[in-house]
Structure 1
Amino acid sequence: MGSATIMRTDQDIQADVLDELTWEPRVQPHEIGVTVTEGVVTLTGWVDGYAKKWAAERAAHRVPRVRAVANDLAVRLPTSARRTDQEVATAVVRALEWDAFVAVEDLDVTVADGWVTLRGQVEWEYQRRAADRAVRQLTGVRGVSNGIAVRPRTTPPGPEVAAGIRRALERGGLADAVPLSVDVYGDTVVLNGVVRSTTQREEAERVAWSAPGVTEVHNRLVVGTTPAG
């Protein structure tokens, strides 16, 4: 009986993911296969750019009840989009130089067969994500490994930071909608609780990373159904 319920739920999620891919203008849904097992979505097939692979992954994450996404899409660049590693590396450095949030001199860039690896240190998590965002859209990029570490200049006092994160969650409506707990141990934030979608899970993590001095976030939030009040 239980397995039948899971199967129906997985079929619903699969249909919703396929519909979401159809509405995502950056991808061609007929190129992407979707399977779902106990709320975990697997994307298969191939796309002609890393930006499309990322867009498909984000589309799947937007669907409620998706617990995780395994992105097995392969990137096959068309001839017109192929670049040498030197050309890709040059484009990456220029993109980072143009991004006001990223200090390119603090980063190391390596390109191998179109795959970009970023290393170095930044003060805030939004800078780490900005570097990733600046690179993944470039022509010739087949993938990105973001090894940038967050090293803030200040160390946060636990109680004040935890309270600040809770207030930020409340402003965004997350704390009212779902039961969350926020604990701070030194410069590490731990989130626990149940959320309704991966979008809520990611937004709670973004809020936690926005606290001053945070170097690590353990996101233990799970996607599920909250009990009725």
Structure 2
Amino acid sequence: MATPEELTRAVHLALGSEPRIGVAHHPIRLGMEWGDLVMEGEVEDVAAKKLALERAAAIPGVDRIIDKLRVRPARKMTDGQVLQHACDALLGEPAMQHIGVRVRDGKEVRDLRVAPPGSRGGTLEVRVEDGVVTLDGDVGGLGAKRLAEVLVWWIPGVRDVVNGLGVDPREQDNDGEMAESVRIALEKDPLVDAGSIQVATRHGVVTLTGAVPSSEQRHIAEMDAWYVWGVDRVVNRLQVVH
């Protein structure tokens, strides 16, 4: 059985072997706490965060990870500003009009929208602490759970999203469901021309093919896929056609 020092050394080497994680510029602190691996630090983007967790989880002997990794925000915002943007995004999304929205600010809990009578949309609760948005409650489908997370990730001051939303009634996840959620995210992003992008998903790996008019859109489309809950890796095969 590996010692804690041997485990953290193996994880450190695995993280360094993935250029997207960028540990040279964004160091990740590793430690062991009651047999669990603790990962802490600020990474460049959600892709680096997910790849770091994936590489660490693949190391034999790493059974559980305490995730304290945060994403460098595109813009500094207060928790109050992030919370307001999150509420505006969730309340303003037409596909989520049947879902109740509740906000937790400190000890105060307020209903911003009550689910319509007879609706099975459920109710979600949003709170923000140190730039980390937590989504709790139950919603009526995996599509809503995933869309809520994408909407929150689009806020420039967000450092992480903890998606604790349950799905009631329970719904079996599959590749098609995940691919559809990625397609919806791309279609709803005003910065992406999603018409010529194809999405394929297999076991948490999303592959994007097709053409986009710029390198910027190619990058944005990839990040939209990374924002979707359950996506472990994105293979970006989009071609830039001017």
Could you tell me the TM-score, scaled by structure 2's length? 0.43
Could you tell me the TM-score, scaled by structure 1's length? 0.45
Which has the larger share of helix? 1
